[in-house]
Amino acid sequence: MERTQGSWLRPALAGAAAGLVNGFFGGGGGMVLVPLLAGWCGLGQRKAFASSVAIILPLCILSAAIYLFRGGVDFSAALPYLVGGLIGGLLGGKLFQHINMVWLRRLFALLLLYGGVKALFF
């Protein structure tokens, strides 16, 4: 899809919001990005989920590098999460095409709700 100069504004702002959230919290940019890609930028739900992963990867690498250089990364504590995350990511990527979009949206909404409640009260 070819973009005109003006059509880059919404995607760039969506990416900026995801980067800001990633920078503040060390992750979570995809939580902001998926709804923006689907609703505001006009991507289909399935493409929004998949595209957010591709967009978040470099943002996470950048955030991790910043935290690393500032001394905020404990590799020994992070390793088990990395191993589990790799396994979960592989499994999720394989199951993604087989999950009904309605259920995928509901699961995403529950994840957002859980994160919001957890952030407010714990």
pLDDT band at residue 27, thresholds of 50, 70 and 90? confident
pLDDT the model gives residue 6 = 58
What is the token pair recorded at 78? 């992070």
The whole-angstrom distance between residue 25's C-alpha and the CA centroid of its chain comes to: 12
Segment 93-122, tens digit of pLDDT:
899 889 898 998 898 889 889 988 988 988
Mean pLDDT of 14-36: 85
Note whether 55 and 18 are within 8 A (CB): yes
CA–CA separation, 59 vs 87, rounded Å? Answer: 21
Closest Cα to residue 49, out of 87, 111, 101?
Answer: 101
Segment 44-68, tens digit of pLDDT:
988 998 899 888 888 888 888 888 8
**For residue 51, what are the contacts with CB-CB under 8 A and spacing of at least 6?**
37, 43
Residue 35 dihedral angles phi and psi, to the nearest 5°: -65, -35
Angle, alpha carbons 12-17-22 (nearest 5°): 120
Angle, alpha carbons 55-60-63 (nearest 5°): 130
